Amino acid sequence: MSPFKSSTGLYENIAGFLCYLFAFVGGVIFLVVERRSRFVLFHALQSVMLFAGLMIAHAVTGFIPFIGLVVNLLLTLLGVFLWIILMFTALQGKWLKLPWIGELAERQLNRM
C-alpha cells in the first residue's frame, strides 16, 4: 500500500481505485472532497473525463441506425477494459495517463 494518505484519510492508492470503481460518480466525489493529493485528484479528473466522454459517445452513436449498435458494443468493451486496467494501476499506486484524456486531466490538475 501507498504510505501516503489523502486528505480523506484513505491511502492514496485506495482513493485512486475508488475514483474508477464508481466510475464517473466516484471521480466527482473525490474532486469535491480531496484537498491535498495530486495522485487522487489526477485519477478523479481522468475518471470523470473518461466516463463522461464514453457516456456522450454512447448517447450520440445511439442515434445512428445499425452501425450505432456495433459502435456502442465496441465502446462498452473499451470502457470495461479501461475501467479494469485503470482500477488496478491506481491500486498499485501508478500514474497511468491515458492519451488525450490523461494529458487534459494533467493540465487541469496543474491549474488547480
- Tens digit of each residue's pLDDT, the chain (112 residues): 456 788 888 999 999 999 999 988 999 999 999 988 999 999 999 999 999 999 999 999 989 988 999 999 999 999 999 999 999 999 999 999 999 999 999 999 888 7
What DSSP string describes the chain?
--S-B-TTSSBHHHHHHHHHHTHHHHHHHHHHH--S-HHHHHHHHHHHHHHHHHHHHHHHHTTSTTHHHHHHHHHHHHHHHHHHHHHHHHHTT-----TTHHHHHHHHHHH-
pTM (2 d.p.): 0.89
